[in-house]
């Protein structure tokens, strides 16, 4: 870390936007604007490598001080002023800037170089503007105190308020030079009291201390937490920018502003921004005075306004994207202080990308690169209708998306109780723990006062698709009410929580269905010009479909789900679970099957099930006509279809007590006791059932094949694929296959129906012996849920709520392996199985079923491994299509953004 002779300081004229990692985003873009010939104040950037060295050793690397001195000297001679010179001081800002923008990092210190002497020089140079000089000095002490020396910020802001009150002034503009000079004295005392030493008068010492504080702020608690959450590497470090000051607080012909080249909220074209006259730095976003819309700058200062617009157009053309901008006007002269490719909402991301394609600025590939499946997923959730102007209560972290409305409850039992009575509830807790699980299941949504995206509440809510907002600001929770910003909400009051934005509202906010879902459903046409978002999604999705190699199927058990998924673009069913075909009014038949004492009784029960199941498959194949449908033979242990042990035991005891007939229940109870398993997940299930219970798989295979033959007879085009679950050894599959093939051959006869027989790969041993198993399989489908459970040796239901939050906190994994595929471990098993399977049987079809099939990160992995398709729940199908498209784009990102 840090090499002898390494260059640690770059003048703005030396860098460019490709050097973000070294110079940070802010520094790289300041350099880029300098290269473009835009009016950027002179300055230089101390690299992230210097920060890394400082953090590793606690000291600046050798040579850094000298390098800074020589760059400072060059800056001084370019500006014709010396840092902190008593009669004509050069002042600088010291600004942090990492490769990723990050909350919690140290804020900027402006006006470095001012002291008791140079403040007079500054006033003289500003034409005797004493007020300006003292205002700048008090800002320096305030910012320096707060951010470099940890002086509590309120002490300064309270003193400022008092000064205003004493003057009867409503805002800081009404304080005159004498007031501000007095305030400087007061600030210096506050500084000394808190730090134990005087405010440093040596300009170079100010500069060094500010720079080192920026370095250290990389490890500030909030920054560390943020990085962990966003999975930003901890060792990147931040750069430090030293920039010659320009002054927006020199009078009414000066000011400061922010601007966007398009609306970052909606993506609409146009210029958006705010401007504040006679102000410096953060004033414009701090809300200390009312800003004016950027438009009005045109009447205030036409020349600067026109120049700004020209520059913004130039920046958009250069970055080929929405840019956000900070600028300052000093006595009618415009200065650019920052630009970056601006953050935007999910909707704006799609609209802007499509617009830029329309304007010929970017390719469709690039547009696809600039949107994400996560953004698309956001757009598919129903949203609150903010036109209803709801009362905002607080804001937290949007931890699991959705729009939930319900009555506030403060305990899990209460949530369960109200939900059982048919109420919709929102569970509000300081934080959740495993004991809250039942309440979380019963609730529409979960709101917590503590924790972030990896807290227990967040992990569990995402796992079960519940809306969740975590770590809500200023939320004080008592037993039967919470308060927030002076407002009290009692148990039973209705609130609305937005798991995407993190906003919490009072009362029931009306929910608006998603336009994007309406479009996928076919009820909203992309041609409707008044819905530019839908049009944009349509364009980009079409390109994704044209680009991707992975097919996208759906997991669907019913014809309804299949039809919906098909509208969402599913190209078949990757997983149809047949469990539900054994439930409802069929339970009795299943009981008969399980209790059958003789082969005759057993085959009677199976024969009764056959037509029912065949009818289910007919509906399903019809809905997916022309597309493949993978049907998984029964997987769960059979006792799951019997009543619970406790229930039966009670029934039998009660009946016996009353002297009633209980023979049937007693028989069932015996069976349940017999079939009880310590670890049902690892027990008699999947292919093992097929081998142990004669005729069970055969019945299912017959139902599937007969359904297909029937439809073929109607002129339809069914493509059934029979999938055997839980295979661990080729022998298991071979035996089942033999039985299946006989039935299939017999039923198919000359109907022309083709039935594939394949297996799930979900037991680690299957993955490791895939070369053998491929001999007996037409296809593999990776059951990534079980493969993850068995690969890690934990069951999802047991562990996700129990300790995952702790594992996430400890960094054992960055994201739950059930949310996103564990590339190194479980992913390795998939890779091995894919390679060894294809080596034996090159035409082997490879797919994934399990929720990972709809997870963006995982889709990229499955593309890399070369699978043929992913399969996911109907709602995730568009997300998978988009991400499969993104995964397939080749070539470099044409822009180093």
| Binds ligand ADP (CB under 6 A): choice among 277, 304, 328, 455 | 328
| Helix locations, 370-514, DSSP H | 373-380, 412-420, 437-442, 456-464
Q: Pairing between strand 869-872 and 551-555?
A: parallel
For 869, phi and psi rounded to 5 degrees? -155, 160
Task: Reply yes or no on whether 576 is catalytic.
Answer: no
Among Mg ion, ligand ADP, none, the one that 783 touches (CB under a kind-dependent 5 to 8 A) is Mg ion
Q: Which of 455, 453, 458, 482 is nearest to 468 (CA)?
A: 458
If binding is defined by CB under 6 A, does position 245 make contact with ligand ADP? yes
762 is in an annotated binding site: yes
Contact 152, 163 (CB under 8 A): no
Q: Shortest approach of ligand ADP to residue 80 CB, angstroms?
A: 16
For residue 823, the tally of other CB atoms under 10 A from its CB is: 17
Q: Binding pattern to ligand ADP, positions 336-375, x when CB under 6 A?
A: -xx-------------------------------------
Nearer to ligand ADP, 213 or 427 (CB): 213
783 is in an annotated binding site: yes
| Secondary element (H or E) of residue 748 | helix 730-748
147 is in an annotated binding site: no
| Binds ligand ADP (CB under 6 A): choice among 200, 255, 267, 281 | 281
Q: Shortest approach of ligand ADP to residue 245 CB, angstroms?
A: 4
CB-side exposure of 174: number of CA atoms within 13 Å?
14
Q: Shortest approach of Mg ion to residue 649 CB, angstroms?
A: 30
881 is in an annotated binding site: no
Q: Shortest approach of ligand ADP to residue 338 CB, angstroms?
A: 5
Among Mg ion, ligand ADP, none, the one that 110 touches (CB under a kind-dependent 5 to 8 A) is ligand ADP
DSSP states along 707-738 = HHHHHHHTT---EEEEEETT--SHHHHHHHHH
Among ligand ADP, Mg ion, none, the one that 786 touches (CB under a kind-dependent 5 to 8 A) is Mg ion
Q: Shortest approach of Mg ion to residue 385 CB, angstroms?
A: 33
Taking CA atoms, 641 is separated from 26, 603, 727, in Å, by 61, 18, 22
Taking CA atoms, 29 is separated from 48, 93, 233, in Å, by 15, 16, 21
Q: Shortest approach of Mg ion to residue 677 CB, angstroms?
A: 16
Q: Which of 200, 80, 215 is nearest to 140 (CA)?
A: 200
Looking only at residues 300 through 329 of this chain, which bind Mg ion when binding is defined by CB under 5 A?
A: 326
If binding is defined by CB under 5 A, does position 25 make contact with Mg ion? no
Among ligand ADP, Mg ion, none, the one that 647 touches (CB under a kind-dependent 5 to 8 A) is none
Strand partners, 573: 554, 629
Q: Which stretch binds ligand ADP (CB under 6 A): 105-113, 178-186, 477-485, 758-766?
A: 105-113
Contact 304, 311 (CB under 8 A): no
721 is in an annotated binding site: no
If binding is defined by CB under 6 A, does position 41 make contact with ligand ADP? yes
Q: Of 71, 456, 538, 719, which one is the catalytic site residue?
A: 456
Taking CA atoms, 488 is separated from 476, 477, 479, in Å, by 9, 10, 12
How many chain residues interact with ligand ADP (CB under 6 A)?
16
Taking CA atoms, 31 is separated from 14, 25, 42, 564, 865, in Å, by 7, 10, 10, 51, 40
| Binds Mg ion (CB under 5 A): choice among 217, 338, 496, 789 | 338
135 is in an annotated binding site: no
If binding is defined by CB under 6 A, does position 31 make contact with ligand ADP? no
Q: Of 51, 323, 849, 872, which one is the catalytic site residue?
A: 849
For residue 694, the tally of other CB atoms under 10 A from its CB is: 13
Structure tokens at 589: 């038949």
| Secondary element (H or E) of residue 746 | helix 730-748
Q: What is the rounded CA–CA span in Å between residue 357 and residue 379?
A: 21
If binding is defined by CB under 5 A, does position 783 make contact with Mg ion? yes
Task: Reply yes or no on whether 456 is catalytic.
Answer: yes
Which residues, including other chains, have CB under 8 Å from residue 397's CB and lie 6 or more apart? 452, 453, 458, 469, 470, 471, 502
Nearer to ligand ADP, 281 or 837 (CB): 281
Q: Shortest approach of ligand ADP to residue 717 CB, angstroms?
A: 60
Q: What is the rounded CA–CA span in Å between residue 792 and residue 806?
A: 16
891 is in an annotated binding site: no
Q: Binding pattern to Mg ion, positions 739-778, x when CB under 5 A?
A: -----------------------x----------------
If binding is defined by CB under 6 A, does position 93 make contact with ligand ADP? yes
Query: Which residues are part of a known binding site for substrate?
Result: 577, 632, 762, 783-786
Instruction: List, by residue number, the catalytic residues.
Output: 456, 849
Give contact residues for ligand ADP (rule: CB under 6 A).
41, 93, 95, 107-108, 110, 243-246, 281-282, 326, 328, 337-338
**Binding-site residue ranges for Mg(2+):** 762, 786
Binding residues: 577, 632, 762, 783-786
Query: Which residues contribute to the site for Mg ion (CB under 5 A)?
Result: 326, 338, 762, 783, 786
């Amino acid at each position: 870390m840090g090499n002898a002779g390494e260059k640690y300081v770059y003048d703005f004229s030396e860098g460019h936007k490709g050097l973000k990692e070294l110079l940070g985003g802010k520094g790289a873009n300041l350099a880029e604007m300098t290269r473009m010939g835009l009016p950027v104040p002179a300055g230089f950037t101390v690299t992230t490598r210097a920060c890394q060295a400082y953090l590793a050793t606690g000291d600046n690397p050798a040579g850094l001080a000298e390098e800074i001195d020589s760059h400072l000297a060059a800056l001084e001679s370019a500006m014709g002023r010396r840092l902190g010179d008593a009669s004509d001081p050069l002042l600088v800002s010291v600004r942090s800037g990492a490769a990723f923008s990050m909350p919690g990092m140290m804020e900027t210190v402006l006006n470095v170089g001012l002291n008791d002497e140079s403040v007079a020089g500054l006033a003289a140079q500003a034409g005797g503007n004493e007020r300006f000089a003292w205002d700048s000095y008090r800002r320096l002490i305030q910012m320096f105190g707060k951010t470099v020396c940890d002086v509590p910020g309120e002490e300064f802001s309270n003193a400022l308020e008092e000064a205003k009150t004493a003057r009867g002034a409503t805002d800081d503009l009404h304080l005159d030079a004498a007031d501000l000079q007095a305030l400087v004295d007061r600030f210096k005392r506050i500084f000394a009291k808190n730090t134990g030493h005087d405010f440093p008068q040596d300009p170079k010492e100010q500069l060094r201390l500010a720079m080192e504080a920026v370095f250290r702020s990389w490890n500030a608690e909030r920054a560390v937490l943020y990085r962990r959450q966003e999975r930003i590497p901890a060792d990147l470090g931040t750069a430090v920018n030293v920039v010659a000051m320009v002054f927006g607080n020199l009078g009414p012909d000066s000011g400061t502003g922010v601007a966007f080249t398009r609306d970052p909220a909606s993506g609409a074209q146009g210029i958006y921004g705010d401007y504040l006259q006679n102000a410096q730095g953060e004033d414009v976003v701090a809300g200390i005075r009312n800003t004016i819309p950027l438009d009005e700058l045109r009447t205030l200062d036409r020349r600067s306004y026109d120049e700004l617009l020209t520059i913004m157009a130039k920046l958009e053309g250069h970055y080929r994207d929405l840019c956000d901008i900070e600028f300052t006007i000093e006595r009618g002269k415009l200065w650019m202080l920052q630009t970056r490719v601006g953050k935007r909402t999910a909707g704006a991301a799609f609209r802007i990308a499509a617009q830029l394609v329309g304007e010929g600025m970017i390719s469709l590939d690039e547009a696809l690169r600039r949107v994400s499946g996560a953004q698309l997923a956001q757009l598919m959730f129903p949203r609150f209708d903010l036109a209803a102007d709801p009362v905002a209560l607080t804001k937290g972290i949007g931890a699991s998306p959705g729009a939930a409305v319900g009555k506030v409850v403060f305990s899990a039992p209460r949530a369960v109780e109200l939900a059982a009575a048919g109420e919709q509830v929102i569970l509000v807790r300081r934080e959740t723990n495993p004991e809250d699980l039942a309440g979380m299941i019963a609730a529409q949504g979960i709101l917590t006062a503590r924790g972030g995206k990896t807290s227990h509440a967040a992990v569990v809510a995402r796992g079960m698709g519940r809306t969740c907002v975590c770590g809500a600001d200023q939320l004080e929770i008592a037993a039967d009410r919470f308060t927030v910003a002076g407002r009290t909400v009692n148990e039973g009051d209705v609130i609305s929580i937005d798991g995407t934005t993190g906003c919490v509202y009072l009362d029931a906010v009306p929910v608006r269905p998603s336009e994007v879902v309406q479009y996928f459903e076919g009820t909203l046409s992309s041609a409707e010009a008044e819905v530019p978002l839908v049009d944009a999604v349509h364009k980009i999705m079409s390109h994704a479909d044209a680009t991707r190699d992975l097919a996208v199927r759906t997991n669907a058990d019913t014809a309804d789900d299949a039809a919906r998924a098909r509208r969402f673009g599913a190209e078949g069913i990757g997983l149809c679970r047949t469990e539900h075909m054994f439930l409802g009014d069929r339970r009795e038949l299943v009981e008969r099957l399980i209790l059958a004492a003789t082969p005759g009784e057993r085959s009677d029960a199976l024969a009764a099930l056959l037509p029912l199941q065949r009818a289910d498959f007919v509906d399903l194949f019809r809905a997916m006509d022309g597309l493949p449908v993978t049907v998984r033979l029964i997987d769960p242990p059979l006792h799951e279809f019997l009543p619970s042990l406790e229930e039966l035991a009670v029934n039998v005891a009660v009946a016996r007590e009353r002297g009633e007939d209980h023979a049937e229940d007693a028989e069932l109870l015996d069976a349940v006791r017999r079939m009880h398993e310590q670890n049902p997940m690892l027990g008699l299930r999947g292919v093992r059932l097929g081998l142990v219970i004669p005729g069970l798989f055969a019945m299912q295979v017959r139902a599937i094949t007969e359904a297909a033959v029937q439809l073929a007879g109607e002129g339809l085009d069914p493509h059934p694929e029979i999938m055997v679950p839980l295979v661990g050894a080729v022998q298991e599959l071979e035996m089942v296959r033999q039985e299946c093939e006989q039935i299939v051959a017999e039923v198919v006869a000359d109907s022309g129906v083709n039935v594939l027989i394949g297996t799930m790969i979900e037991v680690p041993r299957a993955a490791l012996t895939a070369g053998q198993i491929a001999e007996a399989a037409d296809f593999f489908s990776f059951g990534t849920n079980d493969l993850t459970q068995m690969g890690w040796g934990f069951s999802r239901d047991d562990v996700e709520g129990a300790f995952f939050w702790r594992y996430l906190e400890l960094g054992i994994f960055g994201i739950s392996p059930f949310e996103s595929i564990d590339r190194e471990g479980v992913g390795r098993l998939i890779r091995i199985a894919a390679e060894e399977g294809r080596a034996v049987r090159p035409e082997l079809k490879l797919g994934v079923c399990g929720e990972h099939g709809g997870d963006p990160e995982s889709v990229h992995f499955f593309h890399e491994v070369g699978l043929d398709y992913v399969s996911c729940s109907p709602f995730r199908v568009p997300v998978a299509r988009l991400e499969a498209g993104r995964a397939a784009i080749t070539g470099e990102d044409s822009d180093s953004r």
